Amino acid sequence: MGRKAYKPDKEDRRKVKAMAQHGLRDIQIADVLAISRATVQKYFNAELKQGRAEGDALLAQTVFQEAIQSKNTALLCFLSKVRLHWRETSQIQHEIKGFPKIIYAEYGSPGCPPLPDESSPADREETDNDE
């Protein structure tokens, strides 16, 4: 004789949505409800999607507010990269219609040799001894 078919109720749906909102994975939710991961995905697909979307939105709002209010530079840089698709670059590109593209790279950036030292170690020792 087989297992009795799972029948989700409103309370299970509420729990699944809340757990998904808090970032739990499908397998963790399945463990809490004592059902299989496949059963969670079969019966609670809408709650999983909605809970995750709401959790992501709440997290984004909280991080955004924290970055703006505290003027957290690192967090502002991170959000700029993620939300605005900004990136750090060591190249400047100039493009004028009808002319080849010109790319300037900073010394030490990938594909560009490091900037030579202004003075050699021997020169620095002589300067230190003069004082």
d(CA 96, CA 81): 27
Higher pLDDT, 45 or 77: 45
Of the candidates 43, 45, 54, 42, the residue with the CA atom closest to the CA atom of residue 18: 54
How many Cβ atoms sit within 10 Å of the Cβ of residue 24?
Answer: 19
d(CA 45, CA 51): 10
Identify the helix (H) or strand (E) that includes residue 103.
strand 102-105
Of the candidates 37, 43, 34, the residue with the CA atom closest to the CA atom of residue 13: 43
Average pLDDT over residues 52-66: 90
Report CA Rg, the chain: 28
87 pLDDT above the threshold of 90: no
pTM of the model: 0.57
69 pLDDT above the threshold of 80: yes
Identify the helix (H) or strand (E) that includes residue 19.
helix 10-21
**pLDDT computed for residue 94 by the predictor:** 65
Residue 109 is encoded by which pair of tokens? 């950036």
**pLDDT computed for residue 124 by the predictor:** 46
